[in-house]
Amino acid sequence: MNNVLITGGLGYIGSHTASILAKNNIKFLIFDNLSNCKIEVIQRLEQIIKQEIDFVEGDIKDTDKLITIIQKKNISSVLHFAALKSVEDSLLSPIEYYETNISGTISLLKAMKITNVKNLVFSSSASVYGEPDYLPIDELHRVESINPYGQTKIVVEEILSDLVKYDNSWSI
């Protein structure tokens, strides 16, 4: 059975994904630093899925903690939703956004490489497209963010693109 690590798993997308995994009897662990959510989300999610949540509080910038969790829990895949997410806040604190969203992802990728877990789903954002040239926006649209949050997502997409381009053992 697959053991899935969900980073940012108590946020909106992460918690809904956890619910879907539970319905499909896929074992998962939620890893979250609680910066974008409240601990009470665990109780609500447990009520919805009618099972106890395997949860570890932690920061994705903590590579050693990620390595320990991946090894201890026999993780086979990662769903990466952890990020700072406010466009407005990213304008006020761009360095914090770059540190968390980019350096945090690099930390996660290092932990995955060390533990030989190379299956990753990354959650990007429509903000990578900036002001749309046409609607609906599709993946062929030019990428040109107009804020630091979107720019962090672009940089991570480029990192992941390079990763699979030069190491075909990754599945992203």
Q: For the chain, first and last CA: distance in Å? A: 20
The amino acid present at 54, given as its one-letter code, is: D
Of 59, 56, 121, 124, which Cα lies nearest the Cα of 85? Answer: 124
CB 43 within 8 A of CB 69: no
Catalytic residue, chosen from 97, 98, 129, 149, is 149
Residue 129 catalytic? no
Long-range contacts of 125-134 (CB under 8 A, 24+ apart): 125/85, 125/149, 125/150, 125/153, 127/87, 127/153, 128/153, 128/154, 128/157
Catalytic residue ranges: 149
